[in-house]
Amino acid sequence: MKFSFLLGMIAVLLVSSCKKDKPDPTPATDSFGILKEYLVDNNMDVTNLLDAWVTTSTVVHDNIVDGNATNDFYVIDIRSAADFAAGHIPGAVNGTLPTILTAAANSGGKTILVACYTGQTAGHAVAALRLSGYPTAKILKWGMCSWNAATAATWPTKVGNVAVGNANWTAAPGNLAGDMEYAAPTFTTTSTDGAGILAERVQVMLTGGMNSITNADVLATPSNYFINNFWAAADVTTYGHISGAHRINPLTLAGGEYKKLNPNATVVSYCWTGQTSSILSAYLKVIGYDAKSILFGANGMIHDALQANKWTEAEIKNFDLESK
């Protein structure tokens, strides 16, 4: 009996020793929480990105010809190399969305302006820039369609009224979906500090390219998406909205409105032109949502009814192009 008791004590000691030698499990990193705190503390919430984020071709042109080089923009044109060579804003450089941060490194302290075909892909680029040390970066409103008739092929062909009479458009004054709170999105990173996590997430967004969706796809089956109408309340009562849409605006980290977005759904945002919603969707992608922007916004769905924020031929200014 004494021998059996001794053997039992030895077994207990061995098991206890093994348990002590085994390291405690590493707690999971709350990447979203760390990133959220970092963005808010460093003035990179959604409202910061959407502060003075756009300028017009007239402003850009006037700065070029005023004889004062210090107020000129550093223009990065992210259209194709062929279209850039055929004609671009004088002094612009050619780049791409995935390499926008590399191109920005040569800006020499000037305010960066990103030009694309319509002002929408540029929204993704500006979101990346403003989250990466270039807080004054801007898009060219309406893109190169506003600079010259020779570069204005896209917008005139994309305005439309496909939502008018569509069964999945709720007429004014609208009937928006009710909101509820969801858990925060989750994602994994190799970094554990805010700056490192942000840099990784910005690169994920840029590598993924333009996160967009057509109005036809959304109007066909709006229930497949979590739709956010990024308008003021009065605009919804004036125009209506896509059936089943929410209206979450403002949408910030600090205010907690992000909790109203479903992290398990494809979050589709739309605005007037697809330019604001491009920046918003890029930001949401960075913080962990599967987010897309409806191309051409309300201008592609209810163009004729719009009283403002509307593409017209008057937006084409016919300023000089440089080619090379």
Full set of structural domains in the chain with CATH: 32-155 (3.40.250.10), 169-305 (3.40.250.10)
pLDDT band at 168 (very low <50, low <70, confident <90, very high): very high
The pLDDT of residue 324:
81
Amino acid at 194: G
> Would you state the pLDDT for residue 167?
98
> How much is the mean pLDDT over the chain?
93
**Average pLDDT, stretch 92-118?**
98
Assess whether pLDDT exceeds 80 at residue 195: yes
> Over 60: is that where the pLDDT of 19 sits?
no
* Local confidence band at 28 (pLDDT 50, 70, 90 cut-offs): low
Q: Give residue-wise pLDDT tens across range 63-97.
A: 999 999 999 999 999 999 999 999 999 999 999 99
> Whole-model pTM?
0.91
First to last CA, the chain: 97
- pLDDT above 70: residue 283: yes
Long-range contacts of 24-33 (CB under 8 A, 24+ apart): 29/189, 29/192, 31/186, 31/187, 31/188, 31/189, 31/192, 31/197, 31/288, 32/184, 32/185, 32/186, 32/187, 32/287, 32/288, 33/184
pLDDT at 10 over 50: no
Q: What is the mean pLDDT of residues 279-301?
A: 98
pLDDT computed for residue 18 by the predictor: 44
Contact yes or no for 289/278 (Cβ under 8 A): no
pLDDT of 39 higher than 50: yes
pLDDT(122) > 70:
yes
Query: For residue 308, what are the contacts with CB-CB under 8 A and spacing of at least 6?
Result: 272
